[in-house]
Amino acid sequence: MDDSRMLRTAQSSKRTAFSRTWTFYEDRWHEGNVAIMGPRTHGAWLGSTVFDGARRFEGVAPDLDLHMARVNESARRLSLKTLVSADEWLTLARDGMARFDKDAALYIRPMYWAENGAAGGGVKHDPESTCWCLCIYEAPMPQPGNLAITRSPFRRPSRECAPVDAKAGCLYPNNARALAEAEARGFNNCLVADLLGNIAELANANAFMAKDGEVSTPVPNGTFLDGITRRRVIALLRHAGVTVREATLSYADFHGADEIFTCGNFSKVMPVTRIDDRDLEPGPFYIKARKLYWEFAHAG
């Protein structure tokens, strides 16, 4: 067997059977996991990628316009060119969603990345080489169940250390190692602190807690993304008369909470059922937050 055939065989054996996927790239839709980056692509090699993630579930796609606008803001913050307007993203997203069964739960991911490094230096990317695609794929919605969390030994970086004001791909390996470490200890997720030791978020979602009739969530302090779903949940709860504080919170605050719940685009609103060795029940504020969000999502 020649070397090139051996390489193709080895690569094929490592590929995952992805769920049904459509990707818009270079002016047309492609079915499947399209090969759009090479070993010299700056975004693949050195992480000059930004993305966003919206959801379609139960036939609705809440805040789709906000997600499409945010990917452009992330691109600007990482010094990439915004080649697609928010309205163009929306039009493409709707066209792409129509390629799936109407009841399919989807993840909708616009992306930008740099193809080339800047002249004279490989680390710095060249904004003029910005590329983009829109990838949409089937992704079942997780259902509320057992969600055990602990404290991560890893920390969120500050704005001086990483581009935390963008939804940048280079931030997520840190989240992944936090999840892996927690899972190795028998937990599903973990609370991650900032560099000062204050809780910032979970490894892949924003965190809420309730105590003595009030809901609290970490105040955005430049170390984690102030999520679109997070803002929506806060607004819905406040409109319903719930006191929601954005505050500096410690791990002890969460450990002593009456209830804890999470929110994020992928899973929306989910209850935490254990923190370390302490069991928790899905509480009234979680139930209200999830109900309000589902009502909002289906109202449009």
The answer to whether the beta carbons of residues 233 and 269 sit under 8 Å apart is: yes
CA 75 – CA 85 distance, rounded (Å):
12
Within the chain, strands assigned E span 21-25, 28-31, 49-51, 54-56, 106-114, 130-138, 148-155, 189-193, 199-202, 206-211, 214-218, 244-247, 259-264, 268-271, 274-275, 278-279
15-138 folds as: D-amino Acid Aminotransferase; Chain A, domain 1 (3.30.470)
CA 290 – CA 235 distance, rounded (Å):
13
* pLDDT for res 14: 59
103-126 residue pLDDT tens: 999 999 999 999 999 876 679 999
CA 56 – CA 139 distance, rounded (Å):
9
* pLDDT for res 298: 97
Is the dihedral angle over the CA atoms 158, 163, 167, 173 positive or is it negative? negative
Please give the distance of CA 104 from its chain centroid, rounded to a whole number.
Answer: 20
166-222 residue pLDDT tens: 999 999 999 999 999 999 999 999 999 999 999 999 999 999 999 999 999 999 999
Provide the residue count of the chain.
300
Tally Cβ neighbours within 10 Å of residue 8. Answer: 12
Which residue numbers in the chain have pLDDT < 50? 1, 3-13
Q: Which CATH superfamily is domain 148-299 in?
A: D-amino Acid Aminotransferase, subunit A, domain 2 (3.20.10.10)
Residue extent(s) of CATH 3.20.10.10 domains in the chain: 148-299
First to last CA, the chain: 58
- Taking alpha carbons only, the member of 4, 129, 105 closest to residue 53 is 105
What is the reported pTM?
0.92
Which residue blocks in the chain are alpha helix, DSSP H? 3-14, 42-46, 64-77, 86-97, 172-184, 228-239, 251-255, 284-299
Residue extent(s) of CATH 3.30.470.10 domains in the chain: 15-138
The two tokens of residue 262 are: 């999470």
The answer to whether the beta carbons of residues 86 and 65 sit under 8 Å apart is: yes
